[in-house]
Structure 1
Amino acid sequence: MSSAFEEVIVETPAQFDSTMQSVVNNHPGSLVFVYITGKKDTTTGKSWCPDCVVSEPIVTEDFLPEVDRECKKKGLKTILVKALVERSEYKGNPQYPYRTHPDLRVKSIPTFILWNAKDDEKARTDNFNDLDRLDAMRVAAIKIAKQ
């Protein structure tokens, strides 16, 4: 399924900072989201992370298309940076780079962050059952888009 928003894949944590710098520098004014998710198995096409399997359509088929429509009204792009997590490196590793990264501080995956408002706790979630939190993120994103 093609999407209206642009998707950028980060294969490893070592690529994260340079990828984010490139995205921000090459797309000024864009609304940027970071989605940290379990890497998909090449044979099954599914993530090793069951919560990631559930959250991905919420992010890519519901949340982002709605926000992208609002952004387009202002002539802005919506970009999803999808940071993939390898199970063997993540599980049980408190020093995993996304856990210790000062702008990410991942407690669990999946984690979804509105990068443009990274200092605002309302602009991130790792609980995709919390519809109020997702709605707060949507409101924050649309507010930024309308500025």
Structure 2
Amino acid sequence: MTVEKVDATLADFGAHFERLFASPDAASDGKVKLLLFLADREPGSSLTWCPDCNVAEPVIYERLEALRGRDAVLLRAYVGDKPTWRDPAHPWRVDPRFALTGVPTLIRWEGGAAAARLGDEEAHLKDKVDALLGAGGN
């Protein structure tokens, strides 16, 4: 499995999402579609401000690399700094497609909707990540 990783911020998420998940070409490309919502990285660091993200992220990448079969696209969406994320009106909290309550959140996207989801309390568990990655038509 090859994994295409694309990074997005609040500002450019819509364009990336449309191209990778919602366009007719994306819908028929046969790739496993994954969204990973993460905290922003700390300046000058490879770590985010979110301890749960720092634990889950390497587990998710390891499980992706261990898979064989279909190609995948992983859209990593960075939610912003702590004050931006904690705002109850954060765009991804109020968007019914995502309805985020915490980060990290890993979503498998199929047929124009979230088909499977792991929230911050599960996204670091290998068996849960494996189950999400294996869900649907593999």
Q: Same fold (TM over 0.5)?
A: yes
- 1:144 corresponds to which letter in structure 2? G
Count of aligned pairs: 130
- 1:7 corresponds to which letter in structure 2? K
Cα distance between partner residues in 2 of 1:129 and 1:29? 26
Give the structure 1 partner of residue 18 of structure 2. Answer: 21
Percent identity between matched residues is 25
Secondary structure of 2:48's counterpart equals coil
Give the structure 1 partner of residue 69 of structure 2. Answer: 70
Does 1:124 pair with 2:121? no
Alpha-carbon distance, 1:133 to partner: 3.2
Give the structure 2 partner of residue 74 of structure 1. Answer: none
Cα distance between partner residues in 1 of 2:101 and 2:131? 20
- Structural RMSD (CA): 2.1
Does 1:40 pair with 2:41? yes
8 Å contact kept, 2:57–2:124 = no
- 1:44 corresponds to which letter in structure 2? S
| Richer in helix (by share) | 1
Give the structure 1 partner of residue 78 of structure 2. Answer: 84
Cα distance between partner residues in 1 of 2:125 and 2:61? 17
- 1:33 corresponds to which letter in structure 2? L
TM-score normalised by the chain length of structure 1: 0.77
Secondary structure of 1:23's counterpart equals helix
Secondary structure of 2:110's counterpart equals helix
Query: Which residues of structure 2 form unaligned runs of 5+?
Result: none
- 1:84 corresponds to which letter in structure 2? Y
Alpha-carbon distance, 1:139 to partner: 2.4
- 1:124 corresponds to which letter in structure 2? R
| Richer in strand (by share) | 2
Alpha-carbon distance, 1:36 to partner: 0.1
